[in-house]
Amino acid sequence: MAAMHFSVIQFPGSNCDHDCLHVLGAVLKQKASLVWHQQAQLPRGTDCVVVPGGFSYGDYLRCGAIARFAPVMDDVRRHAARGGMVLGICNGFQILAEAGLLPGALLRNRSLKFICDYTHLRVEHARSAFTSLARPGQVLRVPIAHGEGNYFCDAATLRRLEERGQVAFRYCEPDGRVTPDANPNGSLDSIAGVTNEQGNVLGMMPHPERVSEAALGGEDGRIIFESMLAALCRR
């Protein structure tokens, strides 16, 4: 089986780009390359785009607001429109929301403080290309590190997200119960990750790349990358 090609976008201020590159290349043994934000096109043969975490452009104006205008984002949009897979993690989620590739917006944390801690995520379903190897209701322990991870959308959008199965993950207790105390940032309906309507674009605030090998203290995040790889291999 030929290796899939993952392109990891690199902005000024990205700080999780090499983490993603390591997981995709060294851990999963796939072809993975960094793509500078000023490039007008993704590398030929790109199967999946990863928009990593960090503080693109210093989060000036608001997180993701400047990065959405980077030259490479036009080709990311074209890639998504063709059905190509796109994963946005933390700042990557913020960028994809600002770029209109995902519904909703990421606001300041309820506490108005930066939070760096472990959270538990409940997998809402296994129909997504990003969760296909997980069990519905499975709980993953994945860290967060953000100041603006408070997911928000209007009531009509939330209803559509629920009806179309676009909510991928919710913050929860270790036993899977969704409670206010388990919600670290005030996200609407405890939402930690959503997909677009087509299901080929996912944004999530927690960092699965930071728990994808035992040496880092956990492997729960690896199932997301392995689900993506399995989906790509089925195509």
- pLDDT digit string, tens, across residues 50-108: 999 999 999 998 999 999 999 999 999 999 999 999 999 999 999 999 999 999 999 99
Q: Is the dihedral of CA 38, 11, 168, 33 positive or negative?
A: positive
Residue 1's pLDDT is what? 53
Looking at 63, 90, 153, 172, which residue is catalytic? 90
Of the candidates 195, 211, 45, 58, the one whose C-alpha atom is nearest the C-alpha of residue 125 is 195
Lowest model confidence (mean pLDDT) among 2-6, 63-67, 139-143, 217-221: 2-6
Q: How confident is the model at residue 197 (pLDDT cuts 50, 70, 90)?
A: very high
Residue 75 phi, psi dihedral angles, 5° rounding: -75, -30
Q: State pTM to two decimals.
A: 0.96
Looking at 98, 124, 148, 209, which residue is catalytic? 209
Pairing of strands 201-204, 85-89: parallel
What are the residue ranges spanned by the domains of the chain?
Answer: 5-234
Element (H, E) at 169: strand 167-172
Q: Token digits for 7?
A: 């392109």
Looking at 5, 37, 79, 207, which residue is catalytic? 207
- To the query of whether residue 207 is one of the catalytic residues in this protein, the response is yes
Q: How confident is the model at residue 2 (pLDDT cuts 50, 70, 90)?
A: low
* Second-level CATH architecture of 5-234: 3-Layer(aba) Sandwich (3.40)
Residue 126 phi, psi dihedral angles, 5° rounding: -110, 15
- The three state secondary structure string of 193-226 is EEECCCCCEEEECCCHHHHCEHHHCECCCHHHHH
- To the query of whether residue 63 is one of the catalytic residues in this protein, the response is no
Reply yes or no on whether the pLDDT at 220 is more than 80. Answer: yes
pLDDT in tens, 15-41: 999 999 999 999 999 999 999 999 999
Average pLDDT, the chain: 96
Beta strands in 2-154 (DSSP E): 5-10, 31-36, 48-51, 85-89, 105-107, 115-123, 139-146, 150-152
73: CB partners within 8 A, 6+ apart: 37, 67, 95, 99
Asked if 228 contacts 85 with a C-beta cutoff of 8 angstroms, the reply is yes
Residue 234's pLDDT is what? 87
- To the query of whether residue 22 is one of the catalytic residues in this protein, the response is no
